[in-house]
């Protein structure tokens, strides 16, 4: 009985070590760095709306509005995007908006988030009421 419990505990401990996560010191490095090693994923990303999220703001001249930037850029207010000139690699919803800051990863799978918590999408997609029920 006690032995089974200990084994379960060890397995749990091993699993928690395996969960990929960058440290708190990880920094945003911009999409060009990710593209260097993940050109296939990058070309897929370019085809969906996330790639043009910043253009949506530019089109309506809201690309400096701090109320819009958290969801239409990457890491705004969290050490990421500041403005289009200083941080061009963090315009739009780039890789690090979902996978987290990537400065420690460099190919090390334990230093990047793969299995995203559900809160990542919900953080920007507050309204999941796609059928507009109740509006
Ligand atoms: C940093 C904010 C942010 C995060 C995080 C985010 N999105 Fe988005 N998403 C947006 C914005 C802004 C748009 C609008 C882009 C457009 O219409 O071109 C969008 C558009 C989309 C679209 C429409 C795509 C298209 O081609 O028109 C889908 C589907 C989507 N998001 C799903 C997701 C899912 C699933 C996740 C989590 C895995 C996620 N998003 C995470 C901000 C975000
Ligand atoms: C809480 C996150 C969030 C904030 C803040 C936000 N957006 Fe968005 N925006 C989204 C998401 C998600 C989408 C795509 C899905 C949708 O249309 O609901 C989107 C879509 C858009 C679109 C294209 C679709 C449309 O409705 O025309 C425009 C334009 C846009 N946003 C402009 C803005 C502007 C301007 C601001 C600031 C005043 C802003 N957004 C603030 C998340 C956000
Ligand atoms: C809107 C959120 C979002 C964005 C933006 C995004 N990803 Fe992902 N990514 C995911 C999700 C969700 C998965 C699926 C995880 C799984 O399959 O277990 C994933 C899986 C992956 C994987 C592992 C599986 C595979 O297909 O090889 C890699 C590598 C990856 N993403 C790299 C990137 C890169 C590089 C970018 C930028 C060019 C990017 N992602 C942009 C959400 C995102
Ligand atoms: C120097 C090359 C390199 C760079 C730069 C790089 N990656 Fe990776 N990435 C890899 C390799 C190689 C793997 C596969 C590791 C493995 O399977 O052991 C990987 C795996 C991943 C995975 C999947 C992890 C998993 O558990 O399977 C994600 C997500 C990812 N990268 C995202 C990114 C993002 C986001 C960026 C930019 C911030 C980025 N990568 C930059 C080489 C790179």
The pTM of the full predicted model, rounded to 2 decimals, is: 0.91
CB 122 near ligand 1, within 6 Å: no
Find the range with the poorest average confidence among 5-9, 40-44, 78-82: 5-9
Query: pLDDT tens across 50-104, in order?
Result: 999 999 999 999 999 999 999 999 999 999 999 999 999 999 999 999 999 999 9
Residue ranges and CATH numbers for the domains of the chain are 26-124 (1.10.1130.10)
CB 78 near ligand 1, within 6 Å: no
Ligand nearest to the CA of 94: 3
CB 113 near ligand 3, within 6 Å: no
CA-CA distance, 12 to 6, in Å (whole number)?
A: 10
Cα of 92 to ligand 2 centre, how many Å? 11
Asked if 69 and 76 count as a contact pair (C-beta separation under 8 A), the reply is yes
């Amino acid at each position: 009985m006690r032995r089974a419990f200990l084994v379960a505990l060890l397995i749990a401990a091993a699993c928690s070590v395996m969960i990929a996560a960058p440290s708190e010191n990880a920094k945003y490095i911009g999409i060009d760095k990710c593209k260097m090693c993940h050109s296939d994923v990058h070309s897929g990303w370019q085809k969906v709306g996330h790639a043009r999220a910043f253009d949506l703001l530019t089109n309506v001249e809201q690309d400096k509005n701090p109320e819009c930037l958290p969801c239409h850029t990457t890491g705004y207010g969290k050490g990421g995007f500041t403005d289009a000139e200083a941080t061009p690699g963090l315009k739009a919803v780039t890789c690090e908006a979902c996978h987290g800051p990537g400065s420690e990863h460099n190919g090390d799978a334990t230093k990047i988030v793969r299995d995203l918590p559900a809160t990542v999408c919900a953080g920007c997609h507050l309204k999941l009421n796609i059928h507009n029920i109740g509006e």
